[in-house]
Amino acid sequence: MESVLNISAYLFTPIADREQLRPVLRERANAVGLKGTILLAEEGINMFLAGDAEALRGYVDQLREDPRFTGLTTKESWSAQQPFRKMLVKLKREIIRMDHPTIRPIEERAPAVAPRTLKRWLDQGHDDDGREVVMLDTRNAFEVDYGTFEGALDWRIARFTQFPDSASAHREALADKTVVSFCTGGIRCEKATIYLREEGVDALQLEGGILGYFEHVGADHYDGECFVFDEREALAPDLTPRTGLAS
C-alpha cells in the first residue's frame, strides 16, 4: 500500500534570512518525522520531502503562513516506503545552479503553457497560431535517457550550467518556432526560458514540468519515465515509482 506522500515544490522569492530560517525548517520537519532536502538561497526555496500525508501537508501549510511562501505549490506522488534517508536543509547560492546571475525569475517569470494546452498543440501538430511547436528538454543527458517527449530536442548537456552556451549555439535552429522548454518539475525552465527569450527565441515553459504534465495529462506524447532525485529513481506517467518503493 502506498502510504508515504512525496512532494516537490519550489518558489523564487527573496529570502534574506536563510541562515536563521534553516534551523527552524529543519526542526519543524524533524518534529513531524519528515525526510528529504530543502535548498535555501537568496533567490528562493526548492524542496523534496516525504512522510505522513497529514504531517507533510501541515508542514507546507505552516510554511505558507510566511507571506514569502504563500504562492508555494506542490506536486504530489506516493510510495510504500520512505525514499529519503535523512532530513537536510542546505544553503545554496542558487536553488537551481545556472551560473548566470542576470537570469532572475524572482523579478519576472517567463510565460508558460498549461499541460492540457500543450497536449492539444501536440495533438494538432501546431500551436493556436499555426506555428510549429518544438519541445526542448533542458535536463541532463542521463535524465533524458529515462524518457522524454516524442521528438524533443536533447542537447546532451552534462549539467545545467552548460545550457546557456548550448542555447546560444542552437539559436538559429529555433527561429520562427514556438519552443516549449521542459524539465522535471519546472524549476530549470524558469531560468532556461528567460535565457532563450533573451536570445530572441519565442520560448515558453511547460507549467509544472514533466510531473505536472503527468498529473494533468498522463502519457500522451511522452515516451518512458521521468527520473527523480531520490531512491524511487524514476516515475511512470501514472506517477508510480520504478523501484521496489512502490510495493
Q: Which residues are catalytic?
A: 183
What does 2-34 look like in DSSP terms, one character per residue? --EEEEEEEEE---S-HHHHHHHHHHHHHHTT-
Task: Mention every residue, 6+ apart, whose C-beta is less than 8 A from residue 179.
Answer: 134, 136, 196, 201, 202, 203, 204
**Looking at residue 161, what DSSP letter applies?**
G
174 CA to centre of own chain: 23
* Residue carrying C-alpha cell 542537447: 155
Instruction: Using alpha carbons, list the distances in angstroms from residue 221 to 23, 50, 148, 156, 212.
Output: 43, 29, 9, 20, 14
Query: In this structure, are strands 203-206 and 112-113 parallel, antiparallel, or unpaired?
Result: parallel
Pairing of strands 153-154, 73-79: unpaired
Q: Which residues contact 172 (CB under 8 A, 6 or more apart)?
A: none
**Nearest to residue 77, comparing CAs of 187, 185, 216, 211?**
211
Asked if 189 and 206 touch (Cβ cutoff 8 Å), the reply is yes
Other C-beta atoms closer than 10 Å to the C-beta of 131 total 14
